[in-house]
Structure 1
Amino acid sequence: MNLLHANDDAGQYPKSYYAATRSNLAPFPQLQEAISADVCIIGAGYTGLSAALHLAQKGLRVAVLEAHRVGFGASGRNGGQVGSGQRQDQDWLENTMGLDAAHRLWDLAQDAKALVRDLIRTHAMPVTFHPGVAHACWSEAEVRHSHAYAAKLAKDYGYDQIEPLDRRAIRKLIGSQAYQGGDLDHGAGHIHPLNFAIGLAKAAKDAGAQIFELSEVLALDKGPQPLVTTAQGQVSCSHVILAANGYLGGLNREVAAKVMPINNFIIATKPLGAQAAQILSQPIAVADTKFVVNYWRLSEDNRLLFGGGESYGYRFPDILKAVSKPMLAVYPQLRDTPIDYAWGGTLAITLNRMPCFTRLAPNILSASGYSGHGVAIATLAGKLLAEASLAPSASFDLMASLPQPRFPGAGGLRWPLLVLAMTWFSLRDKLGL
């Protein structure tokens, strides 16, 4: 079973709130001939489209191959949060990489947020960056850690954008009695994720990149002049960038051993009208401290977009059931509120939750495994992949130096072992351990 076709119709966006409110974008053509390019990019999500834009701006001939539509995968289905920092916190990075590298990784993450905002502004995308992401803690111990970490970032990294919240403040902010406190990161934010992907595609096209939809890659032949094959065409090129994330499939076993696809789900209520202010008193996004994270925000027409629940097989479960339960644990007052949209998507995780950057050959680069932290980091990844395709890149090499262990097991055993481990952690959430 191929994840590209397990839950979706060919060339169609899922029936999501994002697809229903997306910017107009005429379909791109299908690759139906043999062409040549300087760089062939596989995947038209944030990573691939950002790489295409930055390469095309340098005058290179770029071909982007997408199996469905631009932004079809996680880039067009996610929670839209543009978070601060890397996926692991700075304590982990300092212990793992050393102080100097940890500071450089923090700076890269800051650059990633700025890049998203700059691209929106520079290319006049119909996308609004809404500032503010709150982190809601279930336990007092998590609150203490949250506040201590905010103090550390201010002291050691000069980042003073995080406001600590006690129990009263978090409950006033998010309209729920479920949490004990947390913080509000004023330097983070949230966007319409699919419209950002569409904006990147338009910008890449305007810069000269060729984008092909309904052009699933079936084979990649390595060598000094790699050959990328689809059902009806081929691209002969000097460099290849793998940017398929959770939909990479069997194109590269080395990446597949370190990057695992999982599924996550979102529902959207009907517009809440005046009730919206009782759910979120400010137009922020929220993520909590569950292992399987609950995350939510209000849409621009005041729907609650609530994400939660995971699955680890090919087929999506009953999404409405999977997400309504955690939503009602946070907002029992929405029990009788109609749900207008329910959709799922496939993202990719790594064992240590840090993204997997790798040079698979002198002329084949890959970045994936953003582990739910991809809006900003994946966009930056595209820029770094573009740089590294042209010349040595210290920033790409730093990301590639992050340790990336393989998932345990081999071949067919890898997925069952992942399911077993993730199910255990999900059970810990339910038991409050």
Structure 2
Amino acid sequence: MLNPSTHSSEYPDSYYAASLKYTQRYPRLEGQRSTQVCVIGGGFSGVNTALELAEKGYQVTLLEAYQIGWGASGRNGGQIIRGVGHGTEQFRQAIGQEGIDAIDEMGFEANEIIKARVKRYTIDCDLKMGYCDLATKPRHLKDFEDTKSWLDSRNYPYETRLLSKSEMSQVVGSDAYIGGMIDMGSGHLHPLNLICAEAAAAAEQGVQIYEQSAVTDIQQGDTCTIKTQHGEIKADRLVICGNAYVAGLNNTLEGQILPAGSYVIATEPLSEQLCQQLLPQDMAVCDQRVDLDYYRLSADKRLLFGGLCTYSGRDPNSIVNALRPNMDKVFPYLKDIKIEYQWGGMIGIGANRLPQIGRLRPNVYFAQAYAGHGVNVTHVAARLIAEHIDGDSQRMEVFEKVKHLRFPGGRRFRSPLLAIGMSYHRLKDIF
């Protein structure tokens, strides 16, 4: 039996869905249409690609299988963290120093795109800057020192600050951490309100959006034909943004991405005094373990506590029972606080943890595999694709130089095989 907190044709019963302010709905695709660009996927990648192209004057049609923001874009932890998520040094042979520098700059740009979009379209999504990485081991502190030195060398324009164990109470009310690093260029927001507002902006710019319009067949060619159960689109260009839900759309993309489960619980609203004890600067925070914890306060003073990344393909029977012990370990004084929401979903992970952005053929683009850093990286991926389609930039081609491995075992066996592999990294966290 599927867990209704993760599998449903409607939004899961999350805090985000309960506090959604942008409730526009869009029709189902009926009949035949033609367009310059067809985008598959109503998450951050797809919606922002459509919006970027519409702002450039293109005729765009977007197809979403369920509802705008139904997948990871509307279920995630709501943290916007600078960078593409993982180090780029490992790709030096493929992209060189110039490519490394370009991707690093794009990682900074990603957060700026979100801030600019929120400002331009007056989006009410509780955007607040302020983030802190949390250390549980001495090697994490060394990583933070290296990261701060690197950011300083790149003239990063926002405050960064290393914290000792004695200073951690400035950021988080827990004895679980031995230090941290503040980054005021990163922060947090309400992701479902952001994506739904961006879709509304795209529609205002002329994008034709269709919900409940799952793609059943794609025929690639000089003109692409995209079929749904009730309609058909003919497009000069196609952009596939299924990410963790790309299964069945394209075998190549499906083989290069692993859907991994990630989960969140939300407490009842907390007193101002308790919020000050938990997160006195109202920052988003995240530790550095493989089975990481990440958490923040919502605008109405709930603790949103996430983590428990799973690679087995199976959801926990109870997200609360799985995540509550982690929260109580960090904050034992919350043991009597009620949990009012629990939800989860799939994020997309590639074998090398670099976002996959490129083309299957000259007129068929894709973006996927954000490995848990999708809120911001999706926005820069969309910009790169739109720039390339418009012919005014080749920045996307840096990502195309990196080759991506297929996960072994096919759809049935690749999740269990990766779950075994991840056990090794969990053991490294312990010792």
Q: Give the TM-score category using the shorter length.
A: over 0.9
* Equivalent residue runs for 1:325-336 within 5 Å: 325-336=325-336
Query: How far off its partner does 1:111 sit?
Result: 1.4
Counterpart-to-counterpart distance in 2, 1:195 and 1:323? 24
User: Residue type matched to 1:100 in 2?
Assistant: E
Stretch deviating more after TM superposition (79-88 or 276-285): 79-88
1:301/1:64 CA distance change after superposition, 3 Å: same
Cα RMSD (Å) of the superposition?
2.1
* Equivalent residue runs for 1:358-377 within 5 Å: 358-377=358-377
Query: How far off its partner does 1:311 sit?
Result: 2.4
Query: How far off its partner does 1:82 sit?
Result: 1.0
Q: Secondary structure of 2:171's match?
A: helix
Query: Does structure 2 retain, via aligned residues, the 8 Å contact 1:77–1:193?
Result: yes
For residue 239 of structure 1, what is the aligned residue in structure 2? 237
Query: How far off its partner does 1:52 sit?
Result: 0.7
1:107 aligns with 2:105: yes
Counterpart-to-counterpart distance in 2, 1:353 and 1:156? 23
Query: Does structure 1 retain, via aligned residues, the 8 Å contact 2:74–2:191?
Result: yes
Stretch deviating more after TM superposition (381-390 or 34-43): 381-390
Counterpart-to-counterpart distance in 1, 2:78 and 2:280? 19
Unaligned ranges ≥5, structure 1 = none
Query: How far off its partner does 1:89 sit?
Result: 2.9
Q: 1:91-113 CA deviation, whole Å, 9 max, x = no partner? A: 54667743322221121111111
Q: Secondary structure of 2:125's match?
A: coil
For residue 341 of structure 2, what is the aligned residue in structure 1? 341
For residue 402 of structure 1, what is the aligned residue in structure 2? 402
User: Residue type matched to 1:193 in 2?
Assistant: P
Q: 1:148-192 CA deviation, whole Å, 9 max, x = no partner? A: 321222024545631111101123320000010010001111111
For residue 143 of structure 2, what is the aligned residue in structure 1? 145
Counterpart-to-counterpart distance in 1, 2:198 and 2:366? 19
For residue 226 of structure 1, what is the aligned residue in structure 2? 224
Query: How far off its partner does 1:80 sit?
Result: 1.0
Q: 1:59-111 CA deviation, whole Å, 9 max, x = no partner? A: 22211110111011000011111111221135546677433222211211111
For residue 324 of structure 1, what is the aligned residue in structure 2? 324
* Equivalent residue runs for 1:252-291 within 5 Å: 252-273=250-271, 274-291=273-290
Counterpart-to-counterpart distance in 2, 1:252 and 1:389? 21
Query: How far off its partner does 1:301 sit?
Result: 1.0
Counterpart-to-counterpart distance in 1, 2:413 and 2:186? 38
* Equivalent residue runs for 1:33-432 within 5 Å: 33-89=31-87, 91-92=89-90, 97-158=95-156, 161-273=159-271, 274-317=273-316, 318-391=318-391, 393-410=393-410, 412-429=412-429, 432=430
Q: 1:223-254 CA deviation, whole Å, 9 max, x = no partner? A: 11111111111111111100111001121111
How many matched pairs? 429
1:6/1:82 CA distance change after superposition, 3 Å: closer
Stretch deviating more after TM superposition (193-202 or 151-160): 151-160
1:183/1:111 CA distance change after superposition, 3 Å: same
Query: How far off its partner does 1:210 sit?
Result: 0.4
- Percent identity, please: 33
Q: 1:175-212 CA deviation, whole Å, 9 max, x = no partner? A: 00001001000111111100100111011000000000
Query: Does structure 2 retain, via aligned residues, the 8 Å contact 1:81–1:375?
Result: yes
Stretch deviating more after TM superposition (387-396 or 256-265): 387-396
* Equivalent residue runs for 1:23-42 within 5 Å: 23-42=21-40
Q: Secondary structure of 1:196's match?
A: helix
Query: Does structure 2 retain, via aligned residues, the 8 Å contact 1:259–1:356?
Result: no
Query: Does structure 2 retain, via aligned residues, the 8 Å contact 1:7–1:315?
Result: no
Query: Does structure 2 retain, via aligned residues, the 8 Å contact 1:171–1:179?
Result: no
1:91/1:176 CA distance change after superposition, 3 Å: farther
Counterpart-to-counterpart distance in 2, 1:218 and 1:288? 40
Counterpart-to-counterpart distance in 2, 1:378 and 1:180? 32
Counterpart-to-counterpart distance in 2, 1:95 and 1:214? 43
Query: How far off its partner does 1:385 sit?
Result: 1.4
Unaligned ranges ≥5, structure 2 = none
Counterpart-to-counterpart distance in 2, 1:275 and 1:177? 16
